[in-house]
């Protein structure tokens, strides 16, 4: 089953709006033969003529005037579809949080749930015991440029 395409509908509406194939082709940045082929294909699918020649221009036939409101609505819908908000890019990288155990158990799942939906690889891990102390030490002893200092440069590494 052949269907009418959006490019055919756009060509049809543009010819009606501008009153000639030449002006419509210029507006759509197409050649006049390309526009004529689109209209001919649309006429084949619909089973009736869309335009009649009047002097140097064209006018829609009665059948074409009948489908014009629906064709214009389809173009508006296509524009709305293309203009819909785009999803944001997935978050990248790692996020490390330090929190008391009760906060991490009770509150963090609710806080991080929405972010996990947008993250490319959601996952969770927990530091316990002396891992927390080492992590606190590394955060506290960072160089000015944000890179961790070596344990020797920082003095000593405490668990």
Based on the domain organization, do 75 and 140 belong to the same domain? no
Range(s) of the domain holding residue 60: 6-82
Predicted confidence (pLDDT) per residue in 55-106, tens digit: 888 999 999 999 999 999 999 999 988 887 776 655 566 667 677 776 666 6
d(CA 48, CA 51): 9
The token pair at 83 is 């203009």
Predicted confidence (pLDDT) per residue in 141-151, tens digit: 554 455 555 55
Domain-embedded: residue 14: yes
Based on the domain organization, do 49 and 100 belong to the same domain? no
Based on the domain organization, do 100 and 50 belong to the same domain? no
Closest among 16, 12, 9, 14 to 27, alpha carbons compared: 14
Domain-embedded: residue 88: no
Domain-embedded: residue 110: no
Predicted confidence (pLDDT) per residue in 105-135, tens digit: 666 667 666 666 555 555 555 555 555 555 5
Based on the domain organization, do 10 and 77 belong to the same domain? yes
| Residue 17: HSE in the Cβ half-sphere, 13 Å Cα cutoff | 15
Based on the domain organization, do 16 and 43 belong to the same domain? yes
Domain-embedded: residue 72: yes
How many Å is the maximal CA-CA distance in the chain? 94
Closest among 27, 10, 25, 24 to 68, alpha carbons compared: 10
Domain-embedded: residue 121: no
d(CA 82, CA 77): 9
Q: Where are the beta strands (DSSP E) in the chain?
A: 51-54, 57-60
pLDDT value of position 130? 53
pLDDT value of position 118? 57
Based on the domain organization, do 27 and 56 belong to the same domain? yes
pLDDT value of position 126? 52
In this structure, what CATH number is given to the domain that contains residue 60?
A: 1.10.10.10
Domain-embedded: residue 25: yes
Based on the domain organization, do 63 and 25 belong to the same domain? yes
Based on the domain organization, do 100 and 138 belong to the same domain? yes
The token pair at 132 is 């927390």
Based on the domain organization, do 131 and 77 belong to the same domain? no
């Amino acid at each position: 089953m052949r269907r009418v395409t959006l490019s055919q509908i756009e060509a049809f509406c543009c010819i009606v709006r501008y009153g000639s194939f030449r002006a419509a082709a210029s507006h759509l940045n197409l050649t006049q033969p390309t526009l004529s082929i689109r209209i001919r294909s649309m006429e084949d699918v619909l089973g009736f003529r869309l335009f009649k020649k009047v002097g140097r221009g064209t006018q829609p036939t009665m059948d074409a005037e009948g489908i014009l409101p629906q064709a214009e609505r389809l173009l508006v819908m296509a524009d709305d579809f293309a203009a819909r908000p785009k999803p944001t890019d997935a978050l990248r990288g790692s996020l490390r949080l330090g929190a008391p155990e009760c906060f991490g158990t009770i509150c963090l799942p609710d806080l991080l749930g929405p972010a996990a939906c947008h993250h490319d690889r959601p996952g969770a891990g927990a530091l316990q015991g002396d891992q927390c102390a080492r992590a606190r030490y590394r955060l506290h002893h960072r160089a000015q440029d944000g890179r961790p200092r070596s344990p020797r440069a920082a003095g000593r590494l405490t668990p």
